[in-house]
Amino acid sequence: MAYFDAASTEPLHPQAREALIAALDVGWADPARLYGPARRARMLLEQARTEVAEALGARPDEVSFTSSGTQAVHLGVLGALHGRRRVGRRLVTSAVEHSSVLHAAGVHERDGGSVETVGVGLTGAVDPAAFRAAVLAEGTALACLQSANHEVGTLQPVVEAAAACAEAGVPLLVDAAQTAGRMPLPGGWSVLTASAHKWGGPAGVGVLAVRKGTRWRSPLPEDDRERRRVPGFENVPAIVASAAALRAMVADSARESARLAALVDRIRSEVPRLVPDVEVIGDPVSRAPHIITFSCLYVEGEALLTELDKAGFAVSSGSSCTASTLRPSHVLEAMGVLTHGNVRVSLPQGASATDVDRFLTVLPDAVRKIREDAGVRS
């Protein structure tokens, strides 16, 4: 099986596996206690925090560990809004944010707040001028913008958004799930969230970074853990493994990202040549290095994923009317692009050119079979 779904989760990095096994033996104790094993656990936890903070461009005391990237987003959004209630109740987001941001926005609306959603163009990027206008509106408490889109890979204008937020005195939350460890992160954020399993760490570890001076108040009952930001016992072995994976990915990111970007460029150029009636989606240049998305006319995404699975490829889809959602991808809808027959290929570290070539050989026959079964000839 060729695994091409790294945007969902990156396979566990070998260095993370080694660190996890070692930390299970020495990092199991409660890091909040004072006896020997607890002090060792605390030392491991704080060393991991320092390493993660350095990789993300933050101070160690700004970084807290959560139980997932989703929890980090929820706490980041709702905590910043809670901390700035006296300023206003208005939240600004883009139309293509991850569902975790949109769900937090829904909670904010049900609590009496308002949400302004800034639309995107055909590439999936927000217009910096439109985002700035939304942020400058009176009563804006928080703005959210992802570093790169999780479905199509398009990079967002975070630098421009950060400048607008600084001008307005509004904190900016950046969801960096798809770029942390893979690309240098833009500055100017007030709150940053990320997820360890996206960079080859174990599942169950998220990162919430809150800049010093940013008003933030936990929306949950207070706990003494993680600087009173995140409740619950820290999973020290998993956090140590996450730091090891991030350290390894950052060390190799320049070389590996360039290699993966070249493979993605090959897919972008070859798929329209090999498959009729296909639309390649997302910005061709300003994009995450590992993600390529395309949609095939006259094809149901779920059927295509099944055929590719039979052929030995694990890919995903934001296509309409899948069994799990029964509705189109909100990202593809917001972009105004074809939603049927959608395939997202996201290459993990170490993905081979041989597997990419085999994918390009298998894909045309898989699409042709589905179309012929539906009575469509291409």
Contact 45, 234 (CB under 8 A): yes
**Rounded to 5, what percent of the chain is helix, strand, coil?**
45, 15, 40
Residues 6+ apart with CB under 8 A from 317: 301, 302, 304, 305, 342, 343, 344
State how far the Cα of 122 lies from the Cα of 331, in Å rounded to an integer.
Answer: 11
Mean pLDDT within 147-167: 98
Task: Give residue 287's identity as a one-letter amino acid code.
Answer: R
Strand ranges, E, within 132-250:
140-144, 172-175, 191-195, 206-210
Angle of the 14-26 helix axis to the 36-56 helix axis, nearest 10: 150
Residues 6+ apart with CB under 8 A from 284: 268
Contact 133, 81 (CB under 8 A): no
Mean pLDDT within 210-214: 97
For residue 268, the SS3 value is helix
Contact 131, 92 (CB under 8 A): yes
Mean pLDDT within 252-273: 97
> What would the pLDDT profile of 60-90 be if each residue is shown by its tens digit?
999 999 999 999 999 999 999 999 999 999 9
* pLDDT attached to residue 227: 82
> What would the pLDDT profile of 310-343 be if each residue is shown by its tens digit?
999 999 987 544 445 546 799 999 999 988 889 9
State how far the Cα of 129 lies from the Cα of 136, in Å rounded to an integer.
Answer: 11
CA distances from 329 to 7, 33, 145, 185, 295 (A): 15, 46, 18, 26, 12
Examine the residue annotation and report whether 144 is marked as an active-site residue of this protein. Answer: no
Task: Give residue 244's identity as a one-letter amino acid code.
Answer: A
Lowest pLDDT segment from 43-52, 135-144, 258-267, 315-324: 315-324
Which residues face 126 on adjacent strands?
120
State how far the Cα of 150 lies from the Cα of 205, in Å rounded to an integer.
Answer: 18
| In the predicted structure, residue 5 carries a pLDDT above the cut 80 | yes
DSSP H/E element including 3: strand 2-3
* Predicted confidence band of residue 378 (pLDDT cuts 50, 70, 90): low
Q: Which CATH number fits domain 2-6+253-374: 3.40.1160.10, 3.90.1150.10, 3.40.50.2300, 1.10.10.10?
A: 3.90.1150.10
Task: Show the DSSP H helices in 275-351 as ranges.
Answer: 301-310, 330-335
Nearest to 120 by CA among 97, 143, 144: 97
* pLDDT attached to residue 323: 43
- Residue 114 has which token pair? 């308002």
> What would the pLDDT profile of 14-53 be if each residue is shown by its tens digit?
999 999 999 999 999 999 999 999 999 999 999 999 999 9
Residue spans of the domains in the chain: they are 2-6+253-374, 14-248
Q: Which CATH number fits domain 14-248: 3.40.640.10, 1.10.3720.10, 1.20.120.80, 3.10.180.10?
A: 3.40.640.10
- pLDDT, mean over the chain: 95
Give me the catalytic one of 144, 165, 296, 321: 321
Task: Give residue 206's identity as a one-letter amino acid code.
Answer: G
DSSP H/E element including 52: helix 36-56
| In the predicted structure, residue 225 carries a pLDDT above the cut 90 | no
* pLDDT attached to residue 287: 97
* Predicted confidence band of residue 222 (pLDDT cuts 50, 70, 90): confident
* pLDDT attached to residue 226: 82
Strand ranges, E, within 16-137:
63-66, 90-94, 114-118
* Angle, vertex CA 346, rays to CA 343 and CA 352, nearest 5: 115
* Predicted confidence band of residue 282 (pLDDT cuts 50, 70, 90): very high
* pLDDT attached to residue 224: 82
| In the predicted structure, residue 164 carries a pLDDT above the cut 80 | yes
Mean pLDDT within 355-369: 97
* pLDDT attached to residue 324: 55
- Residue 17 has which token pair? 């596996």
* pLDDT attached to residue 375: 82
The whole-model pTM stands at 0.94
